[in-house]
Structure 1
Amino acid sequence: MLDLDSLPGDDLAVNLADTVLLATSPSIDLLDDGHARFWSAQASRLPAGARPPSAEQTRRLRSAVREVLEAAVAAREPEAWAVERVNAAAAAVPASPRLTARGVDMIWHGEDGGEIALAAVAVATIDLVSGPRAERLRRCGAHDCSMLFVAANSRRVWCTPSLCGNRVRVARHAKKGLES
């Protein structure tokens, strides 16, 4: 089973969406015991000034992000409430590009570090579903996994080859052994 330390990708939006394990009954919320750890693990993907928002704010945005990403995977329109929530979070903190000696940095103009973090997730969500990586957004091919991921290549079907991929291969091998 995946946990906060083994989220499958480097995409901020996908990582937030994957903090709830939906393939279990009942679902498991990885933020219950790991809210601060999640934001700490995402620090390198967050803009300067970002701080962890409240767990309630995080979960509220996560539900919208998950709906938007699931809709993209299913090639359907996302629910209006989810689009509105993602857009509101993205618009809550203005950002502007700033030219530096290294290239361009995005400067986020906000007083509330939690809002900056949420805005960064919302913008990452919008960028993912509206950009070229949208066609590589997938749900894990393992029947007992609900994780989403952005595939590096067209052949990738599991969120993590070392976890879900290995479990599927082991099960397939065991089934072949029983059949022979």
Structure 2
Amino acid sequence: MTFPLVGEHLALDLLNTRTAQGDLVDGPAGLAAWLAEQAGRLSAVDRVGEGEVAAARAVREAARPALDAVRRGERPPAEALRVLNAALAAAPSHRVLAWSEGAGLGAAVRRPADPAGRLAAELADAVAELLTDPRVGQVRECEAHDCVLLFLPAHPRRRWCVAGVCGNRARVARYYARHKEETA
């Protein structure tokens, strides 16, 4: 399974698991594949089951209306904030200091919770980070007519999620429309 646009902000990567073609994390196999793509960005989940799928999807479904509202400068829906805050509260984090020969003192973040709760909290934390980022108003939807993906543009003129896919389709469509008019 391939996931579009992996490497955006983690919250956007999560939101982009719901595409125009459907839900890419609608079961344990889909979520496990997505988590593998996110290696190093989230705590490892040994076994992905229906609980983890439900937790990830709940955070994603709360994140979308919250992001839509914040992008417009409006108050997010109370239910979306309730779901996100519940996920954060279910697995609070704390730092654990540890000494490692050669690397020195380090601080690792720990979230003592069941795997589904930990996953939901980490995803909700990423959503909270995006919602409070000053650049949240710059999050864009792909301009391709059949694409629903979101991205945070590095360049202000970026219009498509992936220029080589959606951008090319838009350019080809314009080309054919132009030539169809010329031959008509």
User: Per-residue CA shift, 1:71-102, capped at 9, x if unaligned?
Assistant: 23343322111111111112222223567858
Q: Tell me, in whole angstroms, the C-alpha distance in 2 between the residues paired with 1:71 and 1:106.
A: 33
Once superposed, what is the RMSD of the aligned Cα atoms? 2.6
The amino acid that maps onto 1:54 is E
Structure 2 residue runs of 5 or longer lacking an equivalent are: none
CA contact (8 A) 1:47 1:107 kept: no
The amino acid that maps onto 1:29 is D
The answer to whether the aligner puts 1:55 opposite 2:57 as a matched pair is no
Q: 1:111 to 1:90 in 2, by over 3 A?
A: closer
Compute the TM-score of the two structures, normalised by the length of structure 2.
0.80
The answer to whether the aligner puts 1:113 opposite 2:115 as a matched pair is yes
CA contact (8 A) 2:12 2:150 kept: yes
CA contact (8 A) 1:94 1:110 kept: yes
CA contact (8 A) 1:93 1:108 kept: no
Q: 1:98 to 1:136 in 2, by over 3 A?
A: farther
Structure 1 residue runs of 5 or longer lacking an equivalent are: none
1:2-151 equivalent positions in 2, closer than 5 A? 4-21=2-19, 23=20, 28-32=22-26, 34-47=30-43, 52=48, 54-97=52-95, 105-151=107-153
Q: 1:40 to 1:108 in 2, by over 3 A?
A: same
Cα shift at 1:127 = 0.8
The number of equivalent residue pairs is 174
Cα shift at 1:171 = 0.9
Aligned to 1:168: 170
